[in-house]
Structure 1
């Protein structure tokens, strides 16, 4: 299993996510307070709340991520580039763009690569993730999507938007294996359905570089309770017979 030493290390392997489209500002503030409590790698929020997240987290090292073309990815390239530029102005550190699945199904790989490259150029040295929706794809399509993302200059492939997610560990492992084989230089984020430490550990053991989860706070808190806040007083023993 993946060797996680403590809850701080675990939190740094999680992108704590809240893309709820009916969340209130007060609820988002509560979410961000939880993120600060456990110091996650990043938060992922809607474009609406990027400025609030940056302001709230300004004294931490938690990155702020947001989404482009979410959740369907069928906007044209210029629209996605404009979204990226607007997020950059708001202060986003990480950008997650949903791939155009119609282009992928039609094998229009040059169009996909061009789109990813233009978004990457727009955001400079910031992190770009390409969401490929593995649950909606055949294995050869996953391989080509990963290659497109790598060739276009993306930093990560992300397996799902959360709307259509693999629902079994072995599906995720299969996806990780395909991405690693066909796009060996790109990093992998697995997202969707990860709601406990055991599952998170299995995904990391399978080769994911990081996980995204709406349940990040619960995962780390439970781990902390089990591993760091449980006091066991050993019974006295003797090493010789009486």
Structure 2
């Protein structure tokens, strides 16, 4: 397991999440201020509060990440594209969208490819990072491999294990599988159920380059304590 990572380095691998349905403006302000203080890579939020979080994070280099068609992925391609464009217009630096699992299960692979191409194209044109959420807890091994193959053709920036709202989250086995299939051509993000430093390090060791979690502060503080490092 990777043991030489510093608190600053791991903070810059963390997408700190706040995706609850019941969040006040003051909650968002506190969340963003804390994320800026720890210098996380990104705050992961639903698309509606992008504008306010962008304002709360003004002056920091923490990215704002919008979750699109979250968490079920059950909106049309056109709706996902509109939501993506609107989030980018309001300041989103990164986009995490959920694939249409129903169409994947139906083996409508042309649809899945068109969906991915449409969203990635919008992001690429805007200079915004794109991440494709698989929601692996609902997928067979074959379906995971199919999504990786399509991703290799379309080239999003990241493929991502989970929303954190399904029946299961990230697993080391899934991260290893995804990494083995896409290699260095696409990065892997692990998200869902990563609640402590050991969990985060296990995902990083397996090949994840981003960690989606609501426990970013705990993870960084655990590493500071373990390494005897006082840096934020």
In 2, Cα distance between equivalents of 1:149 and 1:130: 8
Higher alpha-carbon deviation: 77-86 or 177-186: 177-186
Contact 1:114 1:152 (8 Å CA) reproduced: no
In 1, Cα distance between equivalents of 2:66 and 2:167: 19
Q: What RMSD, in angstroms, separates the aligned Cα atoms of the two structures? A: 1.6
Q: Which residue of structure 1 lines up, in the alignment, with residue 173 of structure 2? A: 174
Change (3 A) 1:107 1:182: farther
For structure 1, the 5+ residue unaligned runs are: 231-242
For structure 2, the 5+ residue unaligned runs are: none
Q: Provide the TM-score with structure 1 as the length reference.
A: 0.88
1:116-155 alignment to 2 at 5 Å? 116-123=116-123, 124=125, 125-155=127-157
Q: Which runs of 4+ in 1 moved over 4 A?
A: none
In 1, Cα distance between equivalents of 2:143 and 2:69: 20
Contact 1:165 1:191 (8 Å CA) reproduced: no
1:84-233 alignment to 2 at 5 Å? 84-123=84-123, 124=125, 125-164=127-166, 166=168, 172-184=171-183, 185-228=185-228
1:68-83 alignment to 2 at 5 Å? 68-83=68-83
CA apart distance, 1:5: 3.4
CA apart distance, 1:198: 1.0
Higher alpha-carbon deviation: 209-218 or 180-189: 180-189
Contact 2:191 2:213 (8 Å CA) reproduced: yes
Contact 1:162 1:191 (8 Å CA) reproduced: yes
Higher alpha-carbon deviation: 111-120 or 221-230: 221-230
CA apart distance, 1:165: 5.3
Q: Which residue of structure 2 lines up, in the alignment, with residue 51 of structure 1? A: 51
Q: Which residue of structure 2 lines up, in the alignment, with residue 6 of structure 1? A: 6
Deviation track 1:163-222 (CA, whole Å, cap 9, x = no partner) reads 11546xxx7222123212333321100001111111111110111111110111111123
Contact 1:116 1:153 (8 Å CA) reproduced: no
Give the 3-state SS of the residue equivalent to 1:176 in structure 2. helix
